[in-house]
Structure 1
Amino acid sequence: MIRPEAKARLLRWREALIGASCAVAGLWLWLATAGLPALFGAVAMAIGAVLILSGMRRARFRSTHQDPGIVRIVEGRISYMGPVTGGSVALDDLVAVTLLRDDTGAAWCLTPEAERDLVIPEGAIGAEGLLDALAPLPGLDSGAMVRAVQSRTGASITVWRREQFRALT
């Protein structure tokens, strides 16, 4: 049996751990063989390095606590179904992405052009998918999203605004 705390930590870092094991297996294959298998080992090391980097970013973005509600992301549309509030917004309609922080916790505020804001608690089921779902926004720095989550200041942090990039599109 594995302790629940250890299991939660392993699950949080799962992509990085898979990448590390892929890189170690690739290194062994690269050093222990020659020719085509060594080439496969080098490719496995490169894939492992990419998985480690992306896995570390995802692990730092994931929340350590559970909030109510479920986030669904389907074809450029983000939906949140909570016990009290909910809603849906299309990526094309977004004008700002902000991390709201107060004494009770943190929540992502997705601001569309014409509709009301969609507020998603940081620890909602599926909220870790926001990192990938918001990536297509022009000029979005996913590192800024990770830094906002890691920051423990009480202030709200706007990580993206469309006005900055409207002239470019």
Structure 2
Amino acid sequence: MNFIRPEAQAVFLRWREALIGILVVVLGLYWTTGTGLLQWVGGVVAIGGAILTFTGLQRARFRVGNGGVGVVTVDEGEISYFGPFNGGTVSIRELNMLSLDPTSTPPVWVLSQPGQADLYIPVNAEGTDQLFDAFAALSGIRTDHLLTALNKGADDVVVIWAKRPRALH
């Protein structure tokens, strides 16, 4: 017997890290009202909770839903997508451009790697929440730009990140 409506459960799952972070902040602030060492520990816990809340908010904004076609996995520096019409694998280290194509239905992430065909991953494919950490690991990526492009909608392809060429010495 399930006491929580599926819609409410989906909201809690989407925002889970942020909600846990808020609870940790509250616990840390409560501990700061104590005395001695507990005050310092409470302060550290509250700061940790604030960081967890911030990253939880970013992850929640990245999750746009599930139930799309295909499955995404991220394992040992490789992003794999296998869907009914296409699929493939891209090395995160070899990635040279990440784009979002909102003109497709549903919108798709476009991952470009030299010498390979672009990999198109629907934003609502199963397992896309793993992509946030993979994308955040790209050198110089602006996650705020990524989240804005994903949530605000655009009329054309948006380049989220492109690898900078190394300077010759």
Q: Same fold (TM over 0.5)?
A: yes
Question: Match of 2:9, as an amino acid?
Answer: K
Residue in structure 1 matched with residue 60 of structure 2 by the alignment: 59
Structure 1: segments with no counterpart, 5+ residues:
none
Whether 1:93 and 2:107 are equivalent positions in the alignment is no
Superposition deviation, residue 154 in structure 1 = 2.7
Identify if the C-alpha distance between structure 1 residues 97 and 104 changes in structure 2 by more than 3 Å, giving closer, same or farther.
same
Contact 2:106 2:124 in 1 (8 A): no
- 1:54 aligned counterpart, secondary structure: helix
Contact 1:131 1:145 in 2 (8 A): no
- 2:20 aligned counterpart, secondary structure: helix
Distance 1:168 1:161 in 2: 15
Contact 2:80 2:87 in 1 (8 A): yes
Q: Deviations over 1:11-52 (max 9, x none)?
A: 100000000000001111111x10111211111100110011
Superposition deviation, residue 108 in structure 1 = 0.2
Residue in structure 2 matched with residue 117 of structure 1 by the alignment: 118
Identify if the C-alpha distance between structure 1 residues 127 and 168 changes in structure 2 by more than 3 Å, giving closer, same or farther.
farther
Instruction: Name the Cα RMSD after superposition.
Output: 1.4
Residue in structure 2 matched with residue 159 of structure 1 by the alignment: 160
Superposition deviation, residue 103 in structure 1 = 5.6
Moved more, 104-113 or 126-135: 126-135
- 2:120 aligned counterpart, secondary structure: strand
Normalized per residue, the structure richer in strand is 1
Distance 1:154 1:105 in 2: 13
Q: TM-score, normalised by structure 1?
A: 0.92
Q: Kindly tell me the number of residue pairs found equivalent between the two proteins.
A: 166
Distance 2:45 2:133 in 1: 24
Residue in structure 2 matched with residue 27 of structure 1 by the alignment: 29
Superposition deviation, residue 148 in structure 1 = 1.1
Distance 1:116 1:55 in 2: 33
- 2:46 aligned counterpart, secondary structure: helix
Q: Deviations over 1:134-165 (max 9, x none)?
A: 22322111221111111222321111112xx2
Question: Match of 2:72, as an amino acid?
Answer: V
Question: Match of 2:5, as an amino acid?
Answer: R
- 2:98 aligned counterpart, secondary structure: strand
Q: Deviations over 1:50-72 (max 9, x none)?
A: 01100001101111352111111
- 1:110 aligned counterpart, secondary structure: strand
* 1:5 pairs with one of 3, 7, 20: 7
Distance 1:8 1:136 in 2: 27
Moved more, 45-54 or 60-69: 60-69
Structure 2: segments with no counterpart, 5+ residues:
none
Q: Deviations over 1:69-127 (max 9, x none)?
A: 11111111100011221100101221110001126221100011000011100001111
